[in-house]
Structure 1
Amino acid sequence: MTPPPNTARRRRGAGTPPKPAPRKLGAVRRSQLVTTYGVGSMVAVDNESFIIAGIDTWDVSEAVSVYERRLSHILGVDSFKLPPAPDPDRATGGVVAHRFPDFYSCPGCKVLQRFYKFNSEKGRARCDECSEDLVPSRFVIACDYGHIDDFPYWKWAHRDVAREPGKCGGTLTLHTDGSTASLRSVVIKCDCGVPDVSMEGAFRAQALRDLGIRCGGQTPWLSNSLPERCDERPRVMQRGSSSAWHPIMNSALSIPPWGEGLYALVEREKLIGASEEIVRFHFKNRQGLLDKLNASVEDVIEVVKAFEEREVSPEDGDVPPTRTSSTLRQDEYKALVRGRKEEHVAEYQPFVCEAPDGDLTEVREFGIAGSMLVKRLREVRVLSSFVRGEAPSEADSENRHARLSMSDKTGWLPAMEVIGEGVFLELDEARLSRWEKNGAVRDRADRIRANHTALLRERAGVGKAGTGKHVESHVTPRFLLLHTLAHVLINEFSLDAGYPASALRERLYSDAEMAGVLIYTATSDSAGSLGGIVAQGEPDKLASTLRAALARAEWCSNDPLCMESESSGAGSVNLAACHACALLPETSCESMNSFLDRAMLIGDQTGTIPGYFADLP
C-alpha cells in the first residue's frame, strides 16, 4: 500500500517543507483487499493507522482483469480487476492509503492532538519532544451511511463548559492508569482548567446527541472529497471494531458458456464489440490460439455477436441476459444439475461437473436425488460497496451503501477469483415437498421467520425516514434444512478430507424450483484443487459421510438446552444450533451463522417435529 503525500508540516522556525515522496507501508494479500481490508476499512501498520483509499486512486494500469460476464451484468460494470501489486523496488503503484484517524497520542508526554502537530520525522510516527512512538486514536465516530470521522475529544472534555470549540487555548492529554479494563481508566485532560473526563459513557446511544454532534458527512477514503449532507446520528466505535467496516460482497460461479472456450478467448483478447475486420486482423498471425480450441475465425465472430445480443438459451450454447442475483443462482443450479464434461484445458474451461460412476442407491435412501462431482470450478468474488454499524441486510436502502470511488464511471470493481472443487447435492423434490408441508415443520420454521421479519422491519427503519426497504423474510423449511445440512457436512468433510472448516464454503440453492447445496473449497491458492473434496462425493463415501454427520447432529454437548432453545444467535434467527454442533467459521457461511436448526434434520427430542432424515434406519 502506498499513501499519498502527507500534508505539509510546520516545524519550529521553518517554513512549509516540500511534500515528501510516497512511502511504502506494509503488505497485505490481494484477496484481503477485497474481503478484509477493502476500500474504506482501517488497517494498522506498526504504530500507525491508515484507511484504504478509493479505487479511483489505485494504479491499475497493469492490474490483471477478472471476467465474469453474468456478475458484471448485475453490478453494471465492464469488468473486474485484481487489486494491483506495488513495484517491489520503489514505493509506487499498488493501493493507496490515507492516514486515519488523524488524532494520535504520545505515551510519554501524554499529549493528544492531530498527527501533523507532533512534527514527526519522515516515515516515522514519533513525538519530537520525547522521542516516543505515537499511538493512533482508539476511538472514531461513524454513521450507518458509511461516513467516518475522528472522535471529538475537545467537545468531550469540555462538555460541561460553555466555550467555543478549540477556543480554550489548552492542550489535551490522554491518560490510562490501567487500573481497570473499562473506559473509566481512559481519562481526557485539558490544561485550561476544566475537570478531567473519562471515556466512560462514550458508547451510549445518546452520548454524541447530548453534545449536539451530528454526522459531518466525512469520507476520508475518497481523495479531495467534500463533506456530504447527512442527517444520521453517528455512533462511537473502536478503531479495530468489526462493526467499523462490513464489506458488501457479490459472487458468481463461472458456468458455460461464459468464461469457457471461445467466450473466454474473446474476453481475454478484449474483442467484445469488435468488428469482423478487427477480429480477422487480430488472428491473422495468431492461429495457434484458435488451434487450442479447434475453432476458426468465423467461430470467433459468431461469439462476438453473441456477446452483443445476449439473447439465446444456455442449452443451445449461449446465455440469456442475467440481471438479478436470483436468476444468477438459477443458472448455476441448472448447470450443476446438468453437468459438464471436460473438453478444454483448465485455462479455457473453469467448470467441470460430472456424475459419479458408482451406484447412488444408498445415497438416495437419504432423500438425496443425486450428487455431482464438481472437479473444477471458478468463483469470482467482488467488493461492490461497504457499510458501517449494523451488518448489511435485505432491508437496507442502497443509499446506505458507501461509494468506492469519487466517480461512478470507473467501469470496474475490485475482485478475486477462487479456483477449486466441490460436491453438489440435490434433494429429492417429491420427498422434500411432502416433508415441508407438515404443519409442525412449518410452525417451527415460522418462529424463525417471524423473528427475522421483525429484525428486517427494525433494520428498515435504520437511516433516513422512508429510505429503508420493507422486505419479507426468505426463511422457509426448505432453506433451513439445506443450510443446516450444509453446515453439518462441512464439519464432517473437515474431519474426513483433512481440510479445516474455514477452507470450505457453502453455496445454497433454495426456492420453489431449487433444492440443492454446493460445498466447495474456498481458498484462493492451489490447495483448493487437490481432489480431496471431490473424493468425498463418491457414492460409498458420501453415504458414510451423511450417516456420520447426521449421527453427530443428533446430540449436542449443550443438549437439552440447545435443542429446546426458543431462539438463539444474533437476531434470534436460530433455534437448535450452537458452537458445539452447527456453527461454522463465518468465512464458510453465506448467512453469518444465521437460519440454522438441527431439528429440521433429525427432529426434536419429543418427536413432535419430524426431521427430513429422521426415518433413516
Structure 2
Amino acid sequence: MARRSTAGGAGNAARQEKVRKSPLGAVRRAQQITTYGVGAMIAIGDQSFIVSGLDTWGTRADDILFEPRLQECLKVNGFRLPPAAPAPSGNGVKVRRFPETYSCPKCSALKRFRDFGGRRNDNNCGDCEVPLVPSRFVVACAHGHLDEFPYWQWLHARRGDERRARRGCDPAKARLSLHSEGRTASLRGIVVTCDCGESGSLEGAFGRDAMAALGITCRGGRPWFGRGAREANCTSPLRVLQRGSSAAWFPNVASALSIPPWHRKLMQLVNQSRKHLVGKSDERIGEYAQDEGWLDRYSEEEVIQTVRTLESAGEQPQEEPEDETAFEAASRIRQEEYRQLRRETPEHPDNQHFVCLPPKNAGKVEVPGIDQVMLVKRLREVRALHSFTRIEPLMRVKEDRERAVDLALNKEEVNWLPAIEVIGEGVFLSLDPEKLATWEALTGPDSPEARAQRLRRNHESHLRRRVKDRKVPVDSSLTSRFVLLHTLAHALINEWSLDCGYPASAIRERLYVNEDMAGVLLYTATSDSAGSLGGIVAQGEPQSLADSLKSALERISWCSADPLCMESDASGVNSLNLAACHACVLLPETSCEMNNIFLDRALLVGTPDDKVPGFFS
C-alpha cells in the first residue's frame, strides 16, 4: 500500500499538523534527568525514538530553578525544569526516530522505516499491514557516538571485497532481509540475507573487536542532534549494543543542597528579579522592593543585603580540584554542606528549604562511635543532568572526562541545564574523630588500611585502563574512612527501610569524606510532599538511632553467603568490593551514589576470627 499523501487543502494540512504535534508519550520529569535524558533511547509503544538535544526542548520561562552553588560548579547560567506532560501546544521534549532501521516480521524485509511505505501516523508495513519491529541492535563508541547497526557491512565485509565486487552488490540498492530461525536463542539464530546471495548470522557481533576486525569504523553519529550532526575523525572503536542496554546511556548528574543563605524565600524572590536588582544602587533596590510589596514582610536593609550576597556569589571564581581522582564526597560543594549540617538552622517562616536541629534528647543516650547527630527536618536538593556517556560510566579521571557528551549543539545559546528539585528530610551523622583516628592508625596485614589498600590497587588498575597516556600518574583517593562511612550508610538504610516504612530505594545517601570530614546524610527526597512525613527524622532521635545501629550491625555481622562473602578477596564490579554482596549490604541504584562499589562490612563489624578490627566491633 502506498504512503498516505500529505498534500491537499487547508483542512488536510491542519490535520497533518495536528498529527505532527500530538504527543507520542509521557514520562515523569525525574526520568528526563536519570533515565530518558538527551541522547537516550526510549521505546514508545512498538516504536523506538531518541531524545533530542536541549536546542529543541520547549521549556517555559517560568520553569527556572535557582541553585547558585551548583550553577557555579557546572558553569551555566541556570537550570530549567523539563517540560511537563502533557505539554501545551505539543511543545515538549522533542524526539527523533532511532534507530531508523526496521524489520517486518511477516515479509522479513530489513530497511529504513520510511521505505516501508506505511502511513505516517502508524507503524505498519505498507505491504503486509503488520506492525514493524525496530532494529534490536545499534553501534556506539566510548566517545558517545551512536549509529545504526551496519547490517550490509557486517554481512559483506567478512566475505571479502573481491567476492562483493564480483557479485556487484551496491549497498544503496541492496535488499536485506532478517530471519529468526528459532533453533537457538543465541545470535546464531538471527540470520541476515542479501538479494545478492550472501547470507550470514550475527554470531560474534558483540565481540569487543568485532567491528574493528571487519574495518567498520565510527562515523561520529549524533542522531539526537539530527542526521547531519556527525563528528568527523573519531578513532574510538565501535561496540555493538542491544537497543535497550543500560550501557547505551549513562547520565552524569550533579546535585547540591540549598543551604544558608540560599535557602531563604527572600533570596528566591531576589534571584527571580536579579536583572532589576544586581548592580543597582541601594536606593534603586529599595524602590523596587517597595513597588513589589516586599517591604511589607522584609526590611529594606534585608533586601539590600540579600542582593549584595547574590552579587558576591557570582564574583567568586570556582577553584579547580587539585586531585582529579578525588571523589565527589570531598568536593567544595560537599565541604560547604558539611559545615552547615553541623550547625543549627532553626525553624523560621523565611527558611523555605533548610531546617537543621539537634535531637531533643541529645547527650542523654550515648550512641557508640557517633560524634554528632543532626535532624534535617527540611531540605531541598537540586539535581541537574549535565552530560552523558556510553559504553562505560564516567570516572573521575581528567582524560576520561573528555568522553562526556554535551546536551546541546550550541552551548553558547543554550547555557542552561535540565534539572529537578526534590524536597525531603534526613538525618546527618558524623563519626567520633578520636575513635576514628585510633582505628585508622592500626597496622598489620589485616588492618583497616591494609584492606583499603586492596581496593585501592584494584581501583587504580581500573583507572589505568581508562587513561591512554601511560605517563599520566593515576592514584586512587580511596581510604578506609571512605569505605567505612559508605558501608555504614548502606547498613543503616537497609535497617531504616524496615523500621520507618520507606522502601530502601526511597532513602538516599550523601557522603562527606576527606581528611577533615567524616559524615553521612541519609535522607528521603521526592518531587512532592511525600518525602517530608517525619519517618526518617524520627530515626535520628538518640534512643532510636542507638537501637537501629545495634540492629544493623548485628544484621550485617552475618550474611547468608558467608563464609564466601566475608572471606572474599574481591567482589563486585571491577573487583571494587570486599565483604559485600546482594544478601548483606548492596542497595538499589537510586540509593547509592557510588553504584554499589567501595563496600566492606568487615570494616564495621570485623571478621569472625577477630583478625580484622571493625570500627564498631
Report the secondary structure of 1:485's partner residue: helix
Whichever residue aligns with residue 562 of structure 1, its letter is C
Report the secondary structure of 1:376's partner residue: strand
Residue in 2 that maps onto 1:132: 130
CA contact (8 A) 2:26 2:86 kept: no
Q: CA deviation at 1:193?
A: 1.1
Greater CA deviation, 348-357 or 177-186?
Answer: 177-186
Q: CA deviation at 1:123?
A: 1.3
CA contact (8 A) 1:375 1:421 kept: yes
2:205 maps to 1:202: yes
Identify if the C-alpha distance between structure 1 residues 469 and 304 changes in structure 2 by more than 3 Å, giving closer, same or farther. farther
Q: CA RMSD in A?
A: 2.4
CA distance in 2, matches of 1:61, 1:476: 45
Q: CA deviation at 1:430?
A: 0.8
2:98 maps to 1:96: no
Q: CA deviation at 1:14?
A: 10
How many residue pairs end up in the alignment? 588
Identify if the C-alpha distance between structure 1 residues 15 and 376 changes in structure 2 by more than 3 Å, giving closer, same or farther. closer
Matches within 5 A, 1:15-414: 21-62=20-61, 64-85=63-84, 90=89, 92-159=90-157, 160-162=159-161, 163=164, 166-167=170-171, 169-194=173-198, 196-223=199-226, 224-271=228-275, 273-276=278-281, 279-287=285-293, 289-292=294-297, 294-296=298-300, 298-310=301-313, 326-345=331-350, 348-364=351-367, 366-395=368-397, 396-409=399-412, 410-414=414-418
Residue in 2 that maps onto 1:315: none
Whichever residue aligns with residue 597 of structure 1, its letter is D
Identity %: 49
Q: CA deviation at 1:309?
A: 2.3
Greater CA deviation, 217-226 or 549-558?
Answer: 217-226
Identify if the C-alpha distance between structure 1 residues 200 and 418 changes in structure 2 by more than 3 Å, giving closer, same or farther. same
CA contact (8 A) 2:99 2:135 kept: yes
CA distance in 2, matches of 1:242, 1:167: 31
CA contact (8 A) 1:86 1:93 kept: no
Report the secondary structure of 1:386's partner residue: strand
CA distance in 1, matches of 2:93, 2:172: 40
Per-residue CA shift, 1:244-282, capped at 9, x if unaligned?
A: 000011011111002324322211333462523653443
Greater CA deviation, 394-403 or 239-248?
Answer: 394-403
Per-residue CA shift, 1:77-107, capped at 9, x if unaligned?
A: 11101101255564x2110001100100011
CA contact (8 A) 2:270 2:307 kept: yes
CA contact (8 A) 1:68 1:259 kept: no
Report the secondary structure of 1:532's partner residue: coil
CA distance in 2, matches of 1:173, 1:575: 49
Residue in 2 that maps onto 1:460: 467
2:588 maps to 1:582: no
Gaps of 5+ in 1: 1-8, 313-318
Whichever residue aligns with residue 498 of structure 2, its letter is L
Residue in 2 that maps onto 1:5: none
Residue in 1 that maps onto 2:616: 613
2:455 maps to 1:448: yes
Report the secondary structure of 1:522's partner residue: strand
CA distance in 1, matches of 2:86, 2:32: 17
Q: CA deviation at 1:232?
A: 0.7
CA distance in 1, matches of 2:290, 2:5: 68
Q: CA deviation at 1:472?
A: 1.7
Report the secondary structure of 1:362's partner residue: coil
CA contact (8 A) 1:423 1:537 kept: yes
Whichever residue aligns with residue 296 of structure 2, its letter is D
Q: CA deviation at 1:441?
A: 1.4
Identify if the C-alpha distance between structure 1 residues 520 and 470 changes in structure 2 by more than 3 Å, giving closer, same or farther. farther
CA distance in 2, matches of 1:521, 1:386: 25
Report the secondary structure of 2:291's partner residue: coil
Whichever residue aligns with residue 448 of structure 1, its letter is L
Residue in 1 that maps onto 2:325: none
Residue in 2 that maps onto 1:477: 480
Greater CA deviation, 256-265 or 182-191?
Answer: 256-265
CA contact (8 A) 2:376 2:427 kept: yes
CA distance in 2, matches of 1:309, 1:448: 42
Greater CA deviation, 76-85 or 172-181?
Answer: 172-181
Residue in 2 that maps onto 1:572: 575
CA distance in 2, matches of 1:260, 1:340: 11
CA contact (8 A) 2:26 2:85 kept: no
CA distance in 1, matches of 2:142, 2:605: 40
Per-residue CA shift, 1:460-496, capped at 9, x if unaligned?
A: 23xxx68x97542121110010000000000000000
Q: CA deviation at 1:158?
A: 1.6
CA distance in 2, matches of 1:253, 1:146: 30
Q: CA deviation at 1:54?
A: 0.5
Q: CA deviation at 1:166?
A: 3.3
Q: Using structure 2 for the length normalisation, give the TM-score.
A: 0.91
Per-residue CA shift, 1:200-234, capped at 9, x if unaligned?
A: 10011221112211110111111452433311111
Identify if the C-alpha distance between structure 1 residues 423 and 124 changes in structure 2 by more than 3 Å, giving closer, same or farther. same
CA distance in 1, matches of 2:526, 2:5: 55
CA contact (8 A) 2:23 2:86 kept: no
Q: CA deviation at 1:457?
A: 0.7
Report the secondary structure of 2:375's partner residue: strand
CA distance in 2, matches of 1:320, 1:170: 58
CA distance in 2, matches of 1:553, 1:570: 20
CA contact (8 A) 2:219 2:230 kept: no
Q: CA deviation at 1:284?
A: 3.3
Q: Using structure 1 for the length normalisation, give the TM-score.
A: 0.91
Q: CA deviation at 1:327?
A: 1.1
Report the secondary structure of 1:158's partner residue: helix
CA contact (8 A) 1:73 1:323 kept: no
Matches within 5 A, 1:526-541: 526-541=529-544
Residue in 1 that maps onto 2:604: 601
CA distance in 2, matches of 1:255, 1:508: 16
Identify if the C-alpha distance between structure 1 residues 205 and 88 changes in structure 2 by more than 3 Å, giving closer, same or farther. closer
Gaps of 5+ in 2: 322-327
CA contact (8 A) 2:553 2:604 kept: yes
CA contact (8 A) 1:322 1:328 kept: no
Greater CA deviation, 483-492 or 217-226?
Answer: 217-226
Residue in 2 that maps onto 1:316: none
Q: CA deviation at 1:13?
A: 11
Q: CA deviation at 1:305?
A: 2.4
Identify if the C-alpha distance between structure 1 residues 61 and 524 changes in structure 2 by more than 3 Å, giving closer, same or farther. closer
CA contact (8 A) 2:152 2:171 kept: no
CA contact (8 A) 2:51 2:93 kept: yes
Q: CA deviation at 1:344?
A: 2.3
Per-residue CA shift, 1:549-579, capped at 9, x if unaligned?
A: 0010110011111000010000101000000
Q: CA deviation at 1:399?
A: 1.9
Report the secondary structure of 2:526's partner residue: coil
Per-residue CA shift, 1:365-422, capped at 9, x if unaligned?
A: x110110000000111110000000121112533211110111121210001110000
Whichever residue aligns with residue 116 of structure 1, its letter is R
